[in-house]
Every structure is written in structure tokens, then in C-alpha cells.
Structure 1
Amino acid sequence: MADDWRNGGFGLYVHWPFCEAKCPYCDFNSHVSRNINQKQWLTAYLSELQRSAAETPDRVLNTIFFGGGTPSLMDPATVAAVIDEARALWRPANDMEITLEANPGSVEAGRFAAYRDAGVNRISMGVQALNDEDLRRLGRIHTVAEARAAFDIARNCFERVSFDLIYARQHQTLDAWRAELTEALNMAVGHLSLYQLTIEEGTAFGDRYAVGKLRGLPEDDSAADMYMATQEICDTFGLPAYEVSNHARSGAESQHNLIYWRYGDYVGIGPGAHGRITLNGRKLATETHLTPQLWLNAVNAGSGEKARVSLSTEDQANEYLMMGMRTYEGLDIDRYAILAGHPLSRSKIDHLTELGMIHSQAGRLAATANGRAVLNAVIRELLV
């Protein structure tokens, strides 16, 4: 149990909470601010890195992920200093993956070259649509032409570039999505993240939906057809899904996200960042203050965390199941049993297998193509 995290690895997540504009569908912790003291933020990040590393010494750091918000608004010098400090505090893996999220509107060649020189070796770009009208509906501040230009800049600076698209958008048809996805795959280097639009409470879209003003959303059957078409088209292009919403050529998978899905340990710093760290044989869930100024104040007082919860063995097993079943490799059946203190229900496995929802092979349990289409229901059935 004490070393279970080694099955997934060890990563660092750094949250940059600022954006140029707030997208109406976004429920991430992001804020619009015109006055950002980058030196103040760097000082806080370094303080949190030092605090976290003191608790997790002698670990090999497999990945760093700058998420947000829009991390491509960070000064390259800030990014460089965070990377340098992390490398000094932990033992960097020889093949450490360092990802930075970017929005097309914040991309320019000199800045990206500076990120590369700082140590970033992977870019994840929020394109979201290859249709200007839909970009406008989604509240994006870039055009398709700007997204393509930004992608070309990123591709010239980095060998590993991914971008995101959202489907099941307002008034989107299956044929239109097929055409758009084919266009995206012709652009793609090796990785695509493809998310179905979800309407979250507390967002502008959520408010509009609640009062019947968000029209043209696809019916459930249409959205399901788009999901199945996504799998078929991506397979044809050699970018099969390795997780429900993520597609990659072999070797191009996001190593940082695999730490989450394989239930490893990760330190989360920055406003609203979550973490999972194993200390003295206990798996702890960490959470930080959401509001940027509250987080800065808390860091100055000693720690940016607002909560730290010791997870029970049942909690750990359930989290591992929920994360592992999202991947095409599935979960290790014996590892689940060790975490939970009991094996998965044989009757539930048999039932779901008979329905064609899951399959087991070489000690692993994974969802089938049909099971992935209704994954939440499969996971609910498996949870004890």
C-alpha cells in the first residue's frame, strides 16, 4: 500500500489561474485580470514547490504540467524558474515530459521558442473548433486562421503538440463533425483531445440552459453517434483512443495524464489545484484555495492548501477504478483487490461481460467499445 503510487508514477501540476477572457462553457478555476505581478506569482510557486518537495524527497519526477487558465500568458522566465526549481528539488526522469497549455490567441514564435528553451517539450493547445461561427458561440477570442497559424508556430518549436476540440456543439450535425474531425486529423502531429460539450452549473452556458436560452444542442442519440464516429475516424487515421477523450499515435500519449489515470501521485500547486500524495503509507487528497489572492495570502502564511484528507482504502480503490476504467488498458485486477482489501464482485464482472460491456485479459479489466460509450453506467455497476 505504501508504494502503490509507484504503479502510476509521480508528477507536478502547476495551475496558472488567469485568462484573457472567460469562456461561457468553462468551469475551470480561471479569472480575468489585467494586472498580474509575475514576480509575486513566481515567489509563491517556488515557496510551494519547496514545501511540497520537503515532504516527498528522493522521488523521481516524471512529468510537469502547466495548466489553467492560460499558462501561455506566463512569462517564459517564470516557467523556466519553476522548471529549474522542480529539477533541483526532485530527481528528474531522463525522459521527463513538460507540458504547457496554450490558447491560440496568446501564441507567438518568440514566446514559444523561449518556452522550449526553458525546458517545455510538449504543447497542448485549446483550439476547440475549426469553424469561426462556433468559435464565436463558444466565446473563443481567436479565429480558425489564427488557430492554424498558432499550431504551425507550435509545431515548428516542439516535436510534441496536441490540441483540443469540442463536439456536440450547438446546431452541429454528424456530417459537419465528420468533416471537421477529418480536417483536424490532417493537421494533427500525434495527439488529439476530443471532448463532448457538457453544460456545467455555474457557467454562463449553464445559466442560459437553465432558462431555455441555449438552443440547438444535439439530442443524446446524435451526440452518441458523434462519439462513435469519432472513434471510427480516429482509428482510420492511426490515432486510436487510449482514454475516453484522448487519442494518440503509439508513443505520443500524455504521460502526465496517464499518472492520473494510473492512479499515481502528483503534487498540485496554484489556486484550485488538487493533488494526491502518499506520505507515511497514507494516500492524501490535497486541495488549494480557489481565489488567486486568497491562495497568495495562504502561501505567504505557510501553505497554499486549504484541505488535506486521508483517503480510506475503499476511497483509493474506488478512485483507481474510476480513473483506470477510463483507459483502454483498463485496471489491474490484483492491484484493485490489494487497495480495496477484497476483489471486484465476480457476479458484476460476469454480468457486464455477458452484456459485452467489459472484458478481462492478462489480469486487467477494461471496457469494450460498447462499454466505453456508456462508461459512467459501467463504472457505477462495478463500484461496490
Structure 2
Amino acid sequence: MNLIKDAPLLADSGEPGFGVYVHWPFCAAKCPYCDFNSHVRHVAVDQDAYVKAFLAEMTAMRAISGSRTVTSIFMGGGTPSLMKPETVDAILNGIAKHWHVPGGIEITMEANPSSVEAERFRGYRAAGVNRVSLGVQALNDRDLKFLGRLHNVEDALRAVKLAREIFPRMSFDLIYARPGQTGAEWTRELNEAISYAVDHLSLYQLTIEEGTPFFGLHKAGKIIIPDQDAAAELYEITQSVTSAAGMPAYEVSNHAQPGAESRHNLTYWRYGDYAGIGPGAHGRLTSGGRKFATATHRTPEEWLKLVNEQGHGMVDRDALETAEQADEMLLMGLRLREGLDLARWSTLSGRGLDPEREDFLLQHGFVERIGNSRLRCTPQGMLILDAVVADLAA
């Protein structure tokens, strides 16, 4: 079966859906803040071998999931824009062979501005990609250099312009709470980003992750990031500027014009099922009335070896207990502006929320009810989301 590549984008149905995530683990360079499963190789990657392995692992995942209708596809990494368009085409057609893929579903690819070429972008579009997510991260060259990015602002804006011309939808990422960043600087940068007519922005606070080069530098006092109060101020500026521009947060770090929300990420946050394919990919698949958490080997070469030996690279396939599923659904649902579907959560967990705990959070303005069917965090509650979730889950 071939992918339907030019159908109009479908509207969000509001349902959790079923997503397929494909992880391309290779990067041209490793950013010093990044703790994602990404790997630098100084020899050419055998893309044909990886395509063959992706297709084999799809067969294994299809055996677990059974027949499903795909509502979104996401190619992440790593740097998926290092793939040849032919590689992308083979992967997407493989997904369409293993599951039912209607025309018009969201198909996203992550791309770095340093690896963007017009011919390659047009090749991805011809393969069926209809949404691109660009890793811009900053709009000044000083901070791009600090973040270890291979592109400059000129490269980033060229990539944004190409994406707007070629793809029906696009997004790009920015990192804030960078060393020395002021509220006025972040306000200007946000407004500049919005001016490029994107319909979606992912805005992440810089965090220092253990195991990254930044961790050691931060521990040695060579990198000083804004303190908790300053970071909270930058977060509040983020909410104010994007809301005023008609791109309110629909999730903790994601902002969109109405209707332009990421369908694939909504599948995660609404606690839908998704197949995770490729080195280091995670998944949630329901089979035989049980929900399984899957994970594949993180190292590309070891994953490839496993797939060649056993037909998949899975190293974990754990059946989740009901309580684990309920906690995951609670955590994911409260990240969303639309909130947690209380009836669905109660059906899964077999209980309701503790009235005293909920009332405490309501009275202190950390959560609010949306009618009788949903509960969501307030902007104040989003600042302490982990604590809110822990309180409700107890």
C-alpha cells in the first residue's frame, strides 16, 4: 500500500489516536545541553540497512498492536533531516503497509537549519511530510554558539522561509532562560519569532541535565543560568506574549494558533497508544486488553544487530499495572490546557480523585474544573506541575 501524500490535513478529532514515532538517532554534532538519544558518526551511515531494519521492527510492532488506524506520524531524533528523501519515502510507505494510514493525517519531521536544503525539503514533502519542526533554539548568533548549534541566525531564517513555502504547517523550537537573558530580551525574541508567521512554537526552559557537557560546566560555576524566580518571570512573559499574539499554550511548553496544535504530541498527552520504532524509541501499545511499555536498544549499531538477529530491537516490553497507567494518564493530562478527562481517568483507575486533595488545590488556585468532565492546572499550578500531580496521585 502506498501513502496518500497530498490530501488536505485532517482536523483534530479530540480523540487520543494512534501514533507512530520513528527515531533517527544520528546528528552532525552533539549539542552540549542535549541528553536525547543522539549519536555522531564520522563515517557515512548505511541508510539502506537502517530502512530495512525499520521495516522489520514495524512488523514486530504490528504483531503487538494489531490492526490500527494511524492518526499521526513523527520522525524525531537525532536529526531526521540528515536522511535522504528516499529513506523517508521508504519509511512512510512501510508504515502505510503495516497499519491503515488515511490521507491527511499529520506527518511531522524534525529538522535542523544547518542540514536544510531546498531540494531535500521538497523531497520530504513529495514523500508525504506535511509538517516540519525546526530546531532553531535562539535568534542571536551569540547564544547559538553557546548552545553548540551548527547554524547561525541567517541559516535559521532561510530554513524558516523554505519551510513556510514548502510545508502546509511548521513549528520551531526556542530555548529560554539562557545565561544572562533578560525579560526584555526574551520578549523581543519571542515577538520576532511570532513575526515569521509560524503557527506553532515549542518554547523550552534551559535545563542542566546530568551526563551532558553543560552539567560539568554548571557544577564548576562556569555556566550560570537564571535562578528559579528569574526563570518563573521568563515563563510568565512567555505565556503573556504568546497569548497576546493568538498562540496560547495548549501544553506546558507548546503554543499554537487554534487548530495548529501538534496532533502527534496530543496523542502522548491524551494517553493514546503509539508505536516507537528505531534505536532508543519508546512506545505504549495495547494488546490483548493489556497496555505495554516498549523500549528499544539505544545504541544504533546494537539496535541494528538485534533487529537482524530477532526481527526487532526491543529490550523492554513491560505490561503496565492499572495504577501505573492511571498515574501516567494523570501526569500527561494535566500538562494540557484542555485538562484531564476525568471520566476516562476514573474508568481506568477504578476510583475518583480524593475530594480533600482536590479541594485543597482548588482553594489555593492550582487547579480548576472545566464543567464536570475535566480538571486542569491553572497558570499558577503549571509552575508546580510535578507537585500537583504528586498530590492528586497519592
Range into which the TM-score falls when normalised by the shorter chain: over 0.9
Over the matched positions of the two proteins, sequence identity in percent amounts to 53
**Root-mean-square deviation (Å):** 1.1
Task: Decide whether the 8 Å contact of 1:62 with 1:95 is kept in 2.
Answer: no
- Distance between the aligned counterparts of 1:236 and 1:25, measured in 2? 30
Structure 2 residue corresponding to 1:17, chosen from 25, 33, 38:
25
Instruction: Map 1:61-72; keep pairs closer than 5 Å.
Output: 61-72=70-81
Q: Which residue of 1 aligns with 2:280?
A: 272
| SS in structure 1 of the partner of residue 71 of structure 2 | strand
The TM-score with structure 1 as length reference comes to: 0.97
1:232 Cα deviation from its structure 2 partner: 0.5
Q: Do residues 225 (structure 1) and 233 (structure 2) align?
A: yes
Q: Which residue of 2 aligns with 1:32?
A: 40
Deviates more, 1:28-37 or 1:311-320: 28-37
Q: Do residues 8 (structure 1) and 19 (structure 2) align?
A: no
| SS in structure 2 of the partner of residue 49 of structure 1 | helix
Structure 2 residue corresponding to 1:377, chosen from 361, 381, 387:
387
Q: Do residues 78 (structure 1) and 87 (structure 2) align?
A: yes
Instruction: Map 1:125-274; keep pairs closer than 5 Å.
Output: 125-215=134-224, 217-274=225-282
Q: Which residue of 1 aligns with 2:346?
A: 337
Task: Decide whether the 8 Å contact of 1:72 with 1:100 is kept in 2.
Answer: yes
1:135-192 CA distance string (max 9 Å, x none): 0000001000110001111111102010000000011111111111110111142000
Structure 2 residue corresponding to 1:289, chosen from 282, 289, 297:
297
AA aligned to 1:155 is R
Q: Which residue of 1 aligns with 2:114?
A: 105
| SS in structure 2 of the partner of residue 60 of structure 1 | coil
1:376 Cα deviation from its structure 2 partner: 1.7
AA aligned to 1:186 is S
Number of paired residues?
Answer: 378
| SS in structure 2 of the partner of residue 221 of structure 1 | helix
Task: Decide whether the 8 Å contact of 2:177 with 2:206 is kept in 1.
Answer: yes
Task: Decide whether the 8 Å contact of 1:336 with 1:344 is kept in 2.
Answer: no
| SS in structure 2 of the partner of residue 260 of structure 1 | helix
Task: Decide whether the 8 Å contact of 2:107 with 2:131 is kept in 1.
Answer: yes
1:209 Cα deviation from its structure 2 partner: 1.4
Q: Which residue of 2 aligns with 1:3?
A: none
Task: Decide whether the 8 Å contact of 2:32 with 2:148 is kept in 1.
Answer: yes
Structure 2 residue corresponding to 1:325, chosen from 334, 339, 353:
334
Task: Decide whether the 8 Å contact of 2:199 with 2:247 is kept in 1.
Answer: yes
1:7 Cα deviation from its structure 2 partner: 4.7
1:23 Cα deviation from its structure 2 partner: 0.2
**Where do 5+ consecutive residues of structure 2 fail to align?**
1-13
| SS in structure 2 of the partner of residue 15 of structure 1 | strand
1:333-375 CA distance string (max 9 Å, x none): 1211111121111111100000011111231000111111221
The TM-score with structure 2 as length reference comes to: 0.94
Deviates more, 1:257-266 or 1:368-377: 368-377
Task: Decide whether the 8 Å contact of 1:7 with 1:263 is kept in 2.
Answer: no
